[in-house]
Amino acid sequence: NLDFSSTALQTDIKSIKKAARQGVVEELKKRINNIVKENIESAALQLKEGFKIFWKENPIATIIPGKDYLNPKIKLLIDDSLDVDEQSELKNYLEKWIDKEKNLHLNDLIKTSKINFENSYARALCFRLFENHGVLKRLDAEDLLKNLDKEQRANIKKIGIKIGRYHIYQPLMIKPKAVNLKIILWNCFNNKTRRERCPTFGLNFLKNFETNNKEFLLICGFETFENYIVRVDILEKLFLKILSSTNNNQFSISSEMLNLLGCGKEDFEKLLKLMNYKKIDKDKDVFSYDFKRKDKKKIKKDNVKKNINNPFASLKNLSLNN
């Protein structure tokens, strides 16, 4: 006989829900087992811009701010009915995978915080570069550079750090995969509800770009000149082209310079002026610049000595919420 009473129906519904839930839990356990058995070097995992970790296009966890932007925490997106041990196993696996991704793409950056040069100025320079995500304005490091001789600078270059005219940077840290990982971690740590967008890779020069956060753009490898942004490595190449074309502190704009940036002549002239180059004659494409002039910030020597052995001294000046 069939019982259609409300009590009987409620009992049946509860039984169906329980069975369905049990089926879901068993499937989750099976998937977790499949995930953690994968070789971590070739795991089918992805960290995407929404801060979620995907396994075969399925979201399984999200990253949340940790003690600093390079060390996020993991929050699982799974059923609470799973055993604590199973949750812990998956979480530990994902933490190891995140560490693997950092070591793979951000290894040069991470190493700068651990470099143990004998020279305290060299150590401080490396740590300051680490604080600035692998791209540092040269003006912000002149107090350290002036205390480094040729041999010490050569040692710094040996570990993948380029000391340029405008920036001190790690070329590998402005490569696409490194930048993508840095900006996901940076946006997460800074709780960016409106996430900053990185310029398209392959473009060297942009005008009126939608993002105007200078610190973020520097993380991406772009320097800002009012409404223009230029890749930092391209700026160095431009400087070398200008230097090789300079005679008596004067040079003419060439097609090579325009092609290097990928911009028109009018914008290029405006950019040069923002970079402190001066046009000699308004009817000619001749500019001048005194390359011997030092654009240094005035920094008291006692402040340098006070902070040089304290790698955390400049952290108080670091702003991540512009």
Q: What local confidence, expressed as pLDDT, does residue 26 receive?
A: 75
Q: Which residues contact 45 (CB under 8 A, 6 or more apart)?
A: 35, 53, 54, 55, 94, 97
Q: Is the pLDDT of residue 62 over 70?
A: yes
Q: Are 247 and 232 contacting, i.e. CB atoms less than 8 angstroms apart?
A: no
Q: What local confidence, expressed as pLDDT, does residue 274 receive?
A: 93
Of 122-126, 191-195, 221-225, 253-257, the poorest mean pLDDT is in: 191-195
Q: Across residues 40-56, what is the average pLDDT? A: 90
On whether residue 151 sits in a domain, the answer given is: no
Q: Is the pLDDT of residue 210 over 60?
A: yes
Segment of 49-53, 287-291, 298-302, 314-318 carrying the highest mean pLDDT: 49-53
On whether residue 193 sits in a domain, the answer given is: yes
Q: Of 54, 79, 105, which residue constitutes the final position of a domain?
A: 105
Q: Residue 285 sits in which domain range?
A: 184-291
Cα–Cα distance between 37 and 313 in angstroms, integer? 44
Q: Are 258 and 268 contacting, i.e. CB atoms less than 8 angstroms apart?
A: yes
Q: Of 57, 72, 105, which residue constitutes the final position of a domain?
A: 105
On whether residue 207 sits in a domain, the answer given is: yes
On whether residue 53 sits in a domain, the answer given is: yes
Name the amino acid, one letter, at 14: K
Q: Is the pLDDT of residue 23 over 80?
A: no
On whether residue 96 sits in a domain, the answer given is: yes
pLDDT class of 320 with cuts at 50, 70, 90: very low
On whether residue 200 sits in a domain, the answer given is: yes
On whether residue 297 sits in a domain, the answer given is: no
Q: Across residues 116-143, what is the average pLDDT? A: 93
Q: What angle do CA 74, 80, 82 make, to 5 degrees?
A: 95
* Pair 188, 281 in one domain: yes
Q: Which residues of 107-122 are buried (b: 16+ CB within 10 A; e: fewer)?
A: ebbeebeebebebebb
Q: Is the pLDDT of residue 111 over 50?
A: yes
On whether residue 126 sits in a domain, the answer given is: no
Q: Of 71, 105, 139, which residue constitutes the final position of a domain?
A: 105
pLDDT digits (tens, 9 = 90+) for 254-302: 999 999 999 999 999 999 999 999 998 777 889 998 665 555 444 444 4
Q: What local confidence, expressed as pLDDT, does residue 25 receive?
A: 67
For the CA atoms of 160, 161, 166, 172, the dihedral, rounded to the nearest 10 degrees, stands at 40
What rounded mean pLDDT belongs to the chain?
Answer: 83
Q: What local confidence, expressed as pLDDT, does residue 212 receive?
A: 87
Q: Across residues 178-194, what is the average pLDDT? A: 87
Q: Is the pLDDT of residue 235 over 90?
A: yes
Q: What local confidence, expressed as pLDDT, does residue 35 receive?
A: 87
Q: What is the sign of the dihedral through the CA atoms of 52, 87, 45 and 133? A: positive
Q: What angle do CA 95, 96, 99 make, to 5 degrees?
A: 90
**Which has the closest alpha carbon to 121: 99, 150, 141?**
141
Q: What is the pTM of this model?
A: 0.77
* Own/partner long-range contacts of 48-54 (Cβ < 8 Å, ≥24 apart): 48/184, 49/184, 49/187, 49/195, 51/184, 51/187, 51/188, 52/77, 53/94, 53/97
Q: What local confidence, expressed as pLDDT, does residue 132 receive?
A: 93
Percent of the chain with pLDDT over 70: 80
The number of folded domains in the chain is 2
Of 31-45, 96-110, 146-160, 218-232, the poorest mean pLDDT is in: 31-45
Q: What local confidence, expressed as pLDDT, does residue 315 receive?
A: 39
- Compute the residue count for the chain: 322
